[in-house]
Amino acid sequence: MAAKKVNEDLQRERSKCSFDVEELTNFLDWGPQYTKRRRTLEQKVLSVKGLLDDIPEEYLSHKEKYENAVRKAVLLYRTLQKVDNSNISDEEKTRANFRNMISSAVFRDGTPFTLHFSMFTPTIMGQATEEQKAYWLKRANNMEIIGTYAQTELGHGTFIRGLETRATYDLETEEFILHSPTLSSYKWWPGGLAHTSNYCVVMARLFIRGKSYGIQPFMVQIRDEKTHMPLPGIKLGEIGAKLGFNNVNNGFLGFENHRIPRDRMLMKNAQVLKDGTFIAATNSKLTYGTMVYVRVLIVNNMANLLARAVTIVVRYSAVRRQSQPKPNEPEPQILDYITQQHKLFITIATSHAFYINAMWLWEIYFSVNKDLAAGKLENLPELHAIACCLKPICTSDTTMLIERCRLACGGHGYMLASNLPQMYGLATAACTYEGENTVLLLQAARALVKAWSVRAEGKPLKGTMAYLAGTTTLQKWDSSVDSIVKSFQVVAIRKVSGAVETLKDYQKSGLSQEDAWNKASVYLTAASEAHGRAILLSVYKSEMDKRTASLSPSLKKVLHQLVELYVIYWALEKVSDLLLYTSITEKDITELQRRYIDLLEKIRPNAVGLVDAFDFRDEILNSALGAYDGRAYERLMEEAMKSPLNVEPVNETFHKYLKPFMLGKL
Amino acid sequence: MAAKKVNEDLQRERSKCSFDVEELTNFLDWGPQYTKRRRTLEQKVLSVKGLLDDIPEEYLSHKEKYENAVRKAVLLYRTLQKVDNSNISDEEKTRANFRNMISSAVFRDGTPFTLHFSMFTPTIMGQATEEQKAYWLKRANNMEIIGTYAQTELGHGTFIRGLETRATYDLETEEFILHSPTLSSYKWWPGGLAHTSNYCVVMARLFIRGKSYGIQPFMVQIRDEKTHMPLPGIKLGEIGAKLGFNNVNNGFLGFENHRIPRDRMLMKNAQVLKDGTFIAATNSKLTYGTMVYVRVLIVNNMANLLARAVTIVVRYSAVRRQSQPKPNEPEPQILDYITQQHKLFITIATSHAFYINAMWLWEIYFSVNKDLAAGKLENLPELHAIACCLKPICTSDTTMLIERCRLACGGHGYMLASNLPQMYGLATAACTYEGENTVLLLQAARALVKAWSVRAEGKPLKGTMAYLAGTTTLQKWDSSVDSIVKSFQVVAIRKVSGAVETLKDYQKSGLSQEDAWNKASVYLTAASEAHGRAILLSVYKSEMDKRTASLSPSLKKVLHQLVELYVIYWALEKVSDLLLYTSITEKDITELQRRYIDLLEKIRPNAVGLVDAFDFRDEILNSALGAYDGRAYERLMEEAMKSPLNVEPVNETFHKYLKPFMLGKL
């Protein structure tokens, strides 16, 4: 973090900070040992030559981006292998890496190896037999093969039962025949599939003797290991340029009666015997665990994205001066404008809220996972419902807030050199992948409607749904943080009951159950959102109370200001719900509004300290606007000078087109 | 629009449409004569070879994008010159071009000539003397020179008084010395500035005998006409890659004591005589006219962007089938999901609302312009206030809705082949350019606070502000469209009064006027938004009533369903305001919600007809998902096959990196 000359405004901000920045960094890292580990890793990796780009990715052609990304991906993997040789458990390693964003320094727009680590290897672990694991996991872990995971098809997304790719068992040869019967059945989207991977887990509909046995996973070699040529009967290519993730090499895959041996079906759960006997999986809910795991990681990733974005924007807002409200005074730092604080400080608080929720979810995930190993499945549906609410809320809030941060930088936020547009691209993609947000909210709604009938039967509800058994009216409104948090539970209860009511009304009017569900779906998604918000708020508040107990008073104070800000912000955002379902009055609202503005003023002196505490190295921020030294304009110019268009003073199109055009000859 | 084989689902949708699509097209075009003119132009221009890309822009490098754009820009200009030789007035021509989007077919990401037409020529018209016009306008109109307009600087945006570029008058040589005293004074952002333009209007601070005379416009030659080399004392380059507009060649410009003759200052308004005498402009408000003009065009552009986006998404939603709510029935068209209708139909209605508001604003602009010519300035401030509210609301709503449309396409909306991400890039930029949205809302708030004091004095308010003199409470709530529209006026009145109240409270608490303004700014922007929404809604409703009088009953019915949808949608979005400031009850709200859902169902059968009526040719939609024939999957695959990465089955990085890596040798 050493810098030659730090911008004076930033320096002054830092001198005003009322708490120990390092203490907050350790808190966010989940302990000082993790801060130390992360920094050591960053220092070692980021000093390796060739990992950071001389010419920013955005100046390259689509093809060059991919080629550059492969070069860097290989180098990054080998580097990490060398330097990250600590002997800690997988669980601790995952947690230790919660705030490891090294790859953001290397790639602004993803890497072609992502799916190998995030989906290919985990699928082998979760779905392969011990024997299969012994072979495939070793090869995958050693990177002797590069794999990906192919589920979605050109015509089929979140709805897995709709997949068309066929795997027909041939009893005579004991092989599966993979086939894509239509264009819409082509696999479409998997990262690394286009030109990078030579193996792939393919989800396909199993047929034995003409009968369908559902969607099953198959390990398929797609390219020759020596020549990398697609194997016969396999059609491969890339799907084209996207809003983001352009280094990821997303591909398509079609089969023309391609045969694979029987043992390539991953048979930990369901099995096909040599004679074509099908043995079903004992429990279909076991795969929920992985889904929840991925969604915890998404919540944590969103916290990281928000933290990076707001670091950039707060520092820039401390450096940028604009307008002149008072004659004869200099232009103020834009961070002094309340409208700017309104855009930024909630982003800091949201990042904290998501970090804390991710930590909490992680611990629940671990305890449920232990239950699973012991054969206890009863807590899975509730956990699944939380994940189905939190993933959509966290991804869409993050998308909205990053965009707000970007717009708060004015025109310069539109520059790719700010790295904010790219972060937006990464965030908004998360609204679609791993379960489309609206679809997930509707899934969560099923669990909530079910919970409501449990309540109606007078039975108890458990865990995060326990509150749904509570009162439907809040006693007297009281503007304390705890009371507001409670009021969000009342709102959720009322939204759930309202959705159930609507559902019933539509059914009574003669609609089928399915049509009534569809017609009520706007209410149902609203109920899920309310449930998710209630959880987010209450976990943020209660976990913060618990986890900050041993912190210094000065830090504790600031962290609780952010909790209060977050809670009041959402109370004001959802004030219509509070007006409908609690006894809040116009006067209470006015008071909350004033308190919100006062909180912005209280947080203002610590704003730079708060983002410094996220402790992102300049390489990881990867932004001309947000570097530690605050030299935003100098860096913008330095980045501009890297544009290949700036190498020559006159572009050749002048002679070819513009000159003859201006002379009237073209 | 002829297509070989139209998707059957789309064909069925079209056969269900209850109104005459052509009648609606004519209505949106402002008359059948404009539809005819537009179609003829489109047909002629789009059949010219070389204008449409073989390889989509997104596969090119940053440099190649520019070079390709210059080639096309020259060709497009010459083509338009040949085919668009109609003899109509400038006013009618502008109106005739309201729905001309030919350039969207040629460029997905802007053109380097934009600023020449949108800013350079208009500035000469508005700010040059007759003598200057005779010379410069002729050259600019003939494209003997290519120009741009340089106002913003690296360190200075919307706040014009902060500009640092200096133009010092040298009495001895009768020249201006242009100079950039700091890095932050470098001009930054102007389109076409980097490598395209050879002339530029530069806004700089005038100094005569050491005294400052404010910001003035100067015509500056920046490149040699023969060699295109930057002139001595002029530093030029491009600012780098951006979220969008990457064909636009945005540039930077710095001066090192660069001298220009005295007659290069554009002196229609202020003047500098040979002896250094400064003659101030007679009225500083005259430039307001141009600003309003540009903002009318922006509202219209937003309507066009929304129309294009929703055409794509509605057609795709008719073709895409997903999930299986009812066993043994086929997967439904996703357009049948209420959640999808909730995302899309409001976008159709919003596009109509913005078109109608743009038409209305255009007519006001013309009448105010006539007043101006006659020396009557009294209506300018009110018009300026409307434009300051509508521009931010229309651009931010458009950005939000395009993104919602894009997300409603799932993963495929993330593909650049859908053209939705690029449209998002174009829309969100409009939140920043031509006056940053928050800054504009605060400007409008000044006018509203002033209006409130007029009201307090018991004096009448005029035009679009007249309603602010009205009652602060709505009689009994009544859910008719007219009554809801009126309730938005009450909300605006209350928000204005609340903001004024807050402002006073903060002043009473001891804050200076400026600090109180800042502290109240969140309320002030909310007041401006409320004012803008009240206008948008009431103009949409009343103008639609008026303009549809002579339409066929079947079309009128559908158009009014959209008005109703729009009004109820916003009532539900702003229900907290209605709860606070009107007598609406929970029961009323429930009824509005049900009515909203029923409206979605009523609009559903006409959805495809409604977007067909926008009448965009496939070339103009420029999207694999939205073509008239509905062959979305086929086109996605066709577009993917254009990727240069798909030319070879094995990318060279396999041999260079992946193979040695997998063999453990790298």
| DSSP-assigned letters across all residues of B235-285 | EEEE---BSS-TTS--EEEEESSEEEEGGGB--SSSEE-TTS-EE--S-GG
Q: Are strands B278-279 and B271-272 parallel, antiparallel or unpaired?
A: antiparallel
DSSP helix, strand, coil percent of chain B (3-state; round to 5): 60, 10, 30
Chain A nearest C-alpha distance from B633 (Å): 7
CB A198 within 8 Å of CB A227? no
Report how far residue A496's alpha carbon sits from residue A494's, in angstroms, rounded to the nearest whole number: 5
Is residue A434 part of the annotated active site? The answer reads: yes
Find the residue in A nearest to B646 (Cα).
Answer: A237
Q: Which token pair is B445?
A: 């708030």
Residues in chain A: 666
Counting DSSP H helices and E strands in chain B, the numbers are 25, 11
Q: Find residues 46-85 of chain B whose CB sits inside 8 Å of chain A.
A: 56, 58-64, 66-67, 70-71, 74, 77-78
Contacts B57 to A, Cβ<8 Å: none
CB pairs under 8 A between A and B: 358
A238 contacts B338? CB cut-off 8 A: no
pLDDT of res. B110: 94
Does residue A383 carry a pLDDT above 90? no
Is the pLDDT reported for residue B456 higher than 60? yes
A331 contact residues in B (CB cutoff 8 A): 159, 162
Is residue B658 within 8 A of residue A74, CB to CB? The reply is yes
Asked if B414 reaches chain A (Cβ–Cβ under 8 Å), the answer is yes
* Portion of chain A with pLDDT greater than 70, in percent: 98
Question: Which structure tokens are listed for A604?
Answer: 């203002």
Identify the three-state secondary structure at position A241.
coil
* Residue A194: strand, helix, or coil: coil
Distance of alpha carbon B438 from alpha carbon B442, whole angstroms: 6
> Which residues of chain A have a CB within 8 Å of the CB of B227?
650
Cα–Cα distance between B130 and B267 in angstroms, integer? Answer: 9
Question: How would residue B382 be classed by pLDDT, with cut points 50, 70 and 90?
Answer: confident
Residues of B in contact with A432 (CB under 8 A): 407, 410-411, 413-414
Q: What is the DSSP letter of B409?
A: T
Nearest to A228 among B159, B575, B654 (CB): B654
Q: Work out the angle at residue B372's Cα, subtended by the Cα atoms of residues B371 and B375, and round it to the nearest 5 degrees.
A: 90
With a CB cutoff of 8 Å and minimum separation 6, the contacts of B572 are: B589, B592, B593, B596
Average pLDDT over residues B34-53: 96
Tokens, residue B201: 């209007």
Report whether pLDDT(A581) > 50. yes
User: What is the CATH code of the structural domain delimited by A479-612?
Assistant: 1.20.140.10
Partner-chain contact B337 A63, CB within 8 Å: no
**Tens of pLDDT along B512-551?**
999 999 999 999 999 999 999 999 999 999 999 999 999 9
Alpha-carbon separation of residue A517 from A18, B286, B343 (angstroms)? 53, 58, 17
Across A15-27, average pLDDT: 98
Residues 612-651 (B) with a CB less than 8 A from some CB of A: 633-634, 636-637, 639-646, 649-651
Q: Which one is catalytic: A42, A434, A564, A619?
A: A434
pLDDT interval class at B51 (50, 70, 90): very high
Q: What is the pLDDT of residue B1?
A: 44
Closest of A202, A273, A271 to residue A231, by C-alpha: A202
Q: A581 with A526: CB under 8 angstroms?
A: no
Q: Which part of chain B has CATH 2.40.110.10?
A: 116-284
- Contact present, A113 and A73 (Cβ < 8 Å): yes
Q: Give how far B390 is from chain A: nearest CA, Å.
A: 18
Q: Which residues pair with A170 in a beta bridge?
A: A175
Interface of B with A in 221-240 (CB under 8 A): 225-230, 236-240
Q: Are A627 and A611 in contact (CB under 8 A)?
A: no
Question: Smallest Cα–Cα separation from A123: which of A69, A197, A175, A184?
Answer: A197
Average pLDDT over residues A435-458: 96
The whole-number pLDDT of residue A1 equals 44
The Cα A188–Cα A179 span in angstroms is 15
B637: tokens are 């695959």
The pLDDT tens digits for B585-621 are 999 999 999 999 999 999 999 999 999 999 999 999 9
Q: Which residues pair with B383 in a beta bridge?
A: none
Lowest mean pLDDT of A279-293, A429-443, A583-597, B447-461, name the range: A279-293
What gap in Å lies between CA A469 and CA A459, rounded to an integer? 9
Residue A55's closest CA among A652, A647, A651, A650?
A647
Q: Which residues in chain A touch residue B252, judged by CB atoms under 8 angstroms apart?
A: 637, 640
**Residue A640 clears pLDDT 50, i.e. is over it:** yes
CB A371 within 8 A of CB A379: yes
SS3 A253: strand
User: A662–B143: do the CB atoms touch at under 8 Å?
Assistant: yes
**pLDDT value of position A474:** 72
The ipTM value here is 0.96
Instruction: Note the pLDDT of residue B285.
Output: 66
Residue A219, H or E segment: strand A211-221
Q: Which of A603, A12, A597 is nearest to A338 (CA)?
A: A597
Task: Give this prediction's pTM.
Answer: 0.97
Look up the CATH superfamily of A116-284: Butyryl-CoA Dehydrogenase, subunit A, domain 2 (2.40.110.10)
Burial category of B209 from C-beta neighbours within 10 Å (exposed 0-12, middle 13-18, buried 19 and up): exposed
Q: What's the distance, CA A551 to chain centroid?
A: 29
C-alpha–C-alpha distance, residues B167 and B260, integer Å: 9
- In eight-state DSSP terms, residue A289 is H
Query: What pLDDT is stored for residue B608 in this prediction?
Result: 98
User: What number is the average pLDDT over the span A110-118?
Assistant: 95
| Amino acid A284: pLDDT | 65
From chain B, the residues in CB contact with A239 under 8 A are 415, 636, 640, 643
Task: Quote the mean pLDDT of chain A.
Answer: 95
Q: What is the DSSP letter of B67?
A: H
pLDDT in tens, B289-344: 777 888 889 999 999 999 999 999 999 999 999 999 999 899 999 999 999 999 99
Give the residue range(s) of CATH 1.20.140.10 domains in chain A: 479-612
Positions at the binding site of A for FAD: 152, 191
Window 244-263 of B: residues touching A by CB (8 A cutoff) are: 244, 249, 252
Average pLDDT, chain B: 95
C-alpha span between B339 and A302 (Å, rounded): 25
Cα–Cα distance, A526 to A549 (Å, whole number): 35
Whether A144 has its CB under 8 Å from any CB of chain B: the answer is: yes
- B71 and A161: CB-CB below 8 Å? no
Q: Which of B434, B543, B564, B619 is catalytic?
A: B434
